Amino acid sequence: MSSPVQALTGVPNACQILPTVITGGQPSAAHLKALHEAGGLIVLDLRDPMEPRPFDERVTASAVGMNYVNVPVGPGTMTDETLDRILAVLRDAGDRLVLVHCGSGNRVGGALIPFLMLDHGLEEEDAVGQAMRIGLRSAELMEWGLDYARRNGSP
């Protein structure tokens, strides 16, 4: 059995930032199957349902035994409600392994800043560093995540 990161070999910006959270860009159907075999149980997709995809991710995730959740992140959805939904999925997952992905990892990085700060105690600089490792390249996404964390009890 491969590790979760090995299961995502070839996925842009694939990395395991926490024992229960693996991140990256768009996986293939084969990646989802391999990730499930490596312990992945939840797919949190941050792409808009209208974005072009190489396969039906919801159907494929279900077929291999994974739960699929779509919380689109984009110019019209960068709200507290969106981050609340993302955090709820991650918090409700408990010790189950979650794949959080978008097309490249950019949106994932911005969306996970509050989780890293509020739930895992990272300071802003460290959370931003991890977000950049995940694939964050947008100042707007970074500020979205930081602003939410600051307003919601960041240490």
Q: Is the pLDDT of residue 155 over 70?
A: no
> 95 is in which domain, residue-wise?
4-151
pLDDT bracket for residue 1 (50, 70, 90): low
Quickly list H helices, the chain. Answer: 4-7, 29-37, 57-64, 80-92, 106-114, 124-134, 139-151
Please, are residues 4 and 27 in contact by the beta-carbon 8 Å criterion?
A: no
Domain total of the chain: 1
Statement: residue 129 has pLDDT above 60: yes
User: What is the pTM (predicted TM-score) of this model?
Assistant: 0.96
- Note the pLDDT tens digit of each residue in 73-98: 999 999 999 999 999 999 999 999 99
CA dihedral 80, 51, 58, 13 (to 10 degrees): -80
Tokens representing 4 are 């979760």
CATH number for the domain spanning 115: value is 3.90.190.10
In degrees rounded to 5, what are phi and psi of residue 152? -115, 30
